Structure 1
Amino acid sequence: MEIQKNLIQLNQHFNTKEEAITFCGQLLVDGGYVNPEYIPAMIERDKELSVYMGNFIAIPHGTDAAKKEVLKTGIAIVQVPRGIDFGTEEDPKVATVLFGIAGVGNEHLDLIQKISIFCSDVDNVVKIADAQSVDEIASYFAD
């Protein structure tokens, strides 16, 4: 899993999950990974089925219909120390690390699998959430 340091952002704060998803999408747009039309599809995907994955992580990504907007496979990693709630008032689901992904073909499935395996150990999520530099986060994903 190749991590681009320009897609890693530390200490971000968002008021809504839509704002957080849009930020992840904009990183992918700015990096040349997706067309701007991919961003609304990321928000739509969360409405269809929550992108919250447990263990304090969310993996925003677009709908199947938005695959045509993906230019190349990429992954944005966003640290949200105060967290952002992807749940409801009755059932909060707070994410402190966001992985915004876009995959050519079925590559997004490979990305989700790799992220899920890494983050199944909550200690790894804590490492990312507590990281003090972009290089530190990138080092956790170096092969």
Structure 2
Amino acid sequence: MREVLQARAVRLGESAATREEAITRCGQVLVEIGAVAQPYVAAMLERERSVSTYVGEGVAIPHGTSKEHVTRDAICVLRFPGGIDWDGENVVVCVGIAARGDGHVALLAELAEILLDPERARALREATDVDAVMKELT
């Protein structure tokens, strides 16, 4: 995961009133770091309308399906300390994913491994330092 996560894509003091705002913010970070073109953000929102990207442990993994708008594989990690209502679940961390091919499958598997460890999932939810997030995910 080291090759797809950059420190500048980790934002720990975000706020959003809705999951749509949170997903849009994830998409914008992916745009800012040059991983996707702007239309990918709409694809992330469309994907969420069809299937929730909530994965448990206070984490959602929003991603789009329009691979033509992805310039390189990348992830962003946004922490929402106030939490976001995600269809009745409280989400504190959103990990936005951009993948050109099937790279998202490997990324999802790596993230699932982290989330299956309650201590690592807690560390991610409670992180207040970018270096701590980088260490936990790489």
TM-score scaled by structure 1? 0.91
The separation in 2 between residues aligned to 1:121 and 1:93, in whole angstroms, is 19
Q: Which residue of 1 aligns with 2:104?
A: 108
Q: Which residue of 2 aligns with 1:82?
A: 82
Q: Which residue of 2 aligns with 1:140?
A: 136
Give every structure 1 segment of 4 or more consecutive aligned residues whose post-TM-superposition deviation is greater than 6 Å: none
Q: Which residue of 1 aligns with 2:125?
A: 129
Q: Which residue of 2 aligns with 1:59?
A: 61
Stretch moving more, 25-34 or 132-141 = 132-141
Gap runs ≥5 in structure 1: none
Q: CA deviation at 1:122?
A: 2.6
CA contact (8 A) 1:101 1:108 kept: yes
The separation in 1 between residues aligned to 2:39 and 2:29, in whole angstroms, is 13
Q: Which has the higher strand share?
A: 2
* Backbone CA RMSD of aligned residues: 0.9
Q: Which residue of 1 aligns with 2:25?
A: 23
Gap runs ≥5 in structure 2: none
Stretch moving more, 53-62 or 128-137 = 128-137
Query: Is 1:93 the equivalent of 2:89?
Result: yes
Identity within the alignment, %: 35
How many residues align? The count is 136
CA contact (8 A) 1:97 1:125 kept: no
The separation in 1 between residues aligned to 2:84 and 2:36, in whole angstroms, is 24
The separation in 1 between residues aligned to 2:14 and 2:117, in whole angstroms, is 23
Structure 2 residue matching 1:8: 3-state secondary structure: strand
Q: Match of 2:80, as an amino acid?
A: V
The separation in 1 between residues aligned to 2:128 and 2:63, in whole angstroms, is 26
